[in-house]
Amino acid sequence: MPLLRRQAYLSLLVVVIALTPLAVLAQDTPIRVDGSRIVADIVEPVSAAAGVAINLEISGTGTGLQRLCAGEIDLANAARPITRAEEEACAASGVDWVEVPLGYDALAVVSNPAITSVQCMTFGELASLFGPGAAGTTALNAVNPAWGEGAVKLYSPAADSAAYNLLDSLLPGDGLRADLTVQADPAALLSQIAEDPEGIGIVPLSALENAEAEVTTIALDDLSGAGCVAPSTATLADGTYPAASGLYVYANAAALERDDVNTLLTALVGADGQAVVAGAGFVTLAEDTAARAAENVAGAVTGRQFSKGEPLYTIALDVAGTVSAEAAADAYSALTGLTNAFKQDYAGVTVNTTGFGNPAAYRKLCNGEVDLALVTRPASAEETAVCTSNNTALWEAPLGHRALVMVVPEAAEFAACLTSDQVAALWSVRDGATVTNWSELGESFPDLPVTIFLPRSAQNQTDFLLNRVSDELLQPRTDALQENSDALYRAAATANVEGAIAYMTYDEFLKSEAAVIPVAVDSGSGCVAPSLETIRDGSYALALPITLVVREEALARPEVQAVTWYAVRDTAASLLGKAGVIPLEPAAFTAYQADVVARFAAAEAAAAAAQPTETPEPTAEATEATSGN
């Protein structure tokens, strides 16, 4: 070729290349993919079927996302959602990403229908059954006394299965207990559990979709705040079912300018890709989720669109240590209710509780003698001064209120409102005598015998009532017509006896359908009837707040973090309710959670900074080198 013509040809080639869009040229370059092996096993066959060339590496989820955020690859395969730290790394590098869900790696805990006592398991209970240290456990009540005395036989898929490995990753220790009955085939595994009246097992959640065997699915509670959650399309999609992990492809948004990248991602969430997901033993996307994922790919919608992200805080199942706690007398039952439930889930933590009252609680907190307390009033100026002098900071979280409601028959309008003095007189023993006739309370009351209905072991509750209406230390009356621990029975009995009166918790009062009316209390500002509003604003006399107080320095310790988190998680409300506490609105607990997690981090940083820096001893050589100077 003559030189002139060759130069002209090269010049024309340069012009053509310059005018060709980079996205078109990129089609001849394989899509760069790295990350999870599990997801790679889905992406690879789908890319081959779609006729898309990929350059596939398998370095693990974390490395794949790290390389994506560094701009080194087009797609990152992930066997979990992207973390907040990884999001920040992408943002720092200026990499926008599109989240594409593929399905779910999920397991289910199932039982024979004959086992009716086990409706929900915490992860602590799951570990007590299936964990590596649980070998030999064959009785339900060895894990949870409420489950009864039935025996249990445990079943599992093979150790190389996704369900086995997923459960292993969720529980502390290496592997699961060695004495499980293992069955590799999911259908056969379900049949064995269905045929064994003592059978409980773990199975791939996907195996339940078309299962013929009749088993009961057990809900799970990982104590992160969502409560008992059963597996379903909805709970997988919103990330609340704790025994599941989403499978994702994260795409560099810039790569979506390539047609082959769009083709691959669309195929993954389409029928062909979902067939591969199902064939691999995973749970496929719901139709609406798959459709939304395809729309997001087409529109290059960036950011977290499907995953929930990691929880604010998760209690490690193997947490261990000792926590000391103090309580006001009127908050002691709430404290023991929380700590006893906690210890059932976290056997490695010992919680020592005492109930010597508010002054003792603040004194011990400020002196560093206890880690946390439940109190029923703010610290006094003197107590605050002690904390200040000891450089002790306290973190507080109001949890709710304890309240009692007095009830009388509907016809007893004369007792619809009582003054604090009348309440004190009615429920106490003075000079060895008790009020036996309503007329003893004043001229406006009828000549009618007083009939008292009390719960068994009533002194603590009557003390609470008397403390709310009098500054004196009064002796509670115990001369009930009948003692019965069932508040609904006491309400019904009160409704049927003229001149009767009883008390119960506010929650018990709301559940009662008896023909009774609540008694308002006049503490000097008029009659105030019990209601959520008057209890929470402090105007109703027979109520007081319950507040968790923790030494901030103690929040650096994992065992104290665990107990604190347990007390402020959303589902702690049910435990508080059982102890007669009316919990605050859920929004309050949500605010505490975000605040206390930040304080965990601050306390850990402060503890680390306070550690003395060890100065290494000089070596012999160093000593010799300086000894003559």
**305 located within any domain:** no
**623 located within any domain:** no
Report the interhelical angle of 420-427 vs 459-469 (nearest 10°): 150
Cα separations (Å) of 140 from 135, 196, 266?
13, 15, 47
Q: Are residues 486 and 390 in the same domain?
A: no
Q: Are residues 509 and 386 in the same domain?
A: no
The Cα angle at residue 82 between residues 76 and 85, in degrees rounded to 5: 115
Residue-wise pLDDT tens digits, 420-434: 999 999 999 988 899
Give the structural domain span for 232. 105-237
Q: What are the phi and psi torsion angles at 175 (to 5°)?
A: 80, -170
**618 located within any domain:** no
pLDDT of residue 271: 96
Task: Scan for tokens 């339900």, then name that residue.
Answer: 140
Q: Are residues 477 and 603 in the same domain?
A: no
Q: Are residues 258 and 375 in the same domain?
A: no
Q: Which two tokens stand for residue 16?
A: 């053509």
**315 located within any domain:** no
**616 located within any domain:** no
Q: Are residues 417 and 499 in the same domain?
A: yes
Q: Are residues 387 and 445 in the same domain?
A: no
Q: Which of 505, 523, 543 is the last residue of a domain?
A: 543
Q: Are residues 408 and 537 in the same domain?
A: yes
Distance, in Å, from the CA atom of 43 to the CA atom of 36, rounded to the nearest integer, reads 10
The Cα angle at residue 171 between residues 167 and 176, in degrees rounded to 5: 65
Distance, in Å, from the CA atom of 451 to the CA atom of 495, rounded to the nearest integer, reads 11
pLDDT of residue 261: 97
Distance, in Å, from the CA atom of 468 to the CA atom of 466, rounded to the nearest integer, reads 5
The number of distinct structural domains making up the chain is 4
**489 located within any domain:** yes
Residues 6+ apart with CB under 8 A from 6: none
Q: Are residues 18 and 42 in the same domain?
A: yes
**590 located within any domain:** yes
**629 located within any domain:** no
pLDDT of residue 34: 97
Question: Please, what are the averages of pLDDT over each run of 10 residues along the chain (629 residues)?
Answer: 39 39 57 96 97 96 96 96 92 97 96 96 91 88 91 94 91 90 95 96 92 94 82 91 94 97 97 95 94 96 89 83 95 92 87 96 97 96 96 96 96 96 95 94 95 83 90 87 82 95 92 95 96 94 96 97 91 80 86 91 93 58 34
CATH number at residue 23: 3.40.190.10
Give the residue among 207, 219, 236, 214 at the shortest CA–CA distance from 125: 219
User: In whole angstroms, how large is the CA radius of gyration of the chain?
Assistant: 33
pLDDT of residue 626: 31
pLDDT of residue 13: 38
Q: Which of 490, 508, 543 is the last residue of a domain?
A: 543
SS3 label, residue 270: coil
Q: Are residues 527 and 548 in the same domain?
A: no
Q: Are residues 33 and 76 in the same domain?
A: yes
Q: Are residues 482 and 551 in the same domain?
A: no
Q: Are residues 181 and 220 in the same domain?
A: yes
Give the residue among 497, 534, 540, 538 at the shortest CA–CA distance from 516: 497
Q: Which of 543, 564, 596 is the last residue of a domain?
A: 543
Q: Which two tokens stand for residue 78?
A: 């992930």
- Plot region of 522 (φ>0 → left; ψ -120 to 50 → alpha; else → beta): beta
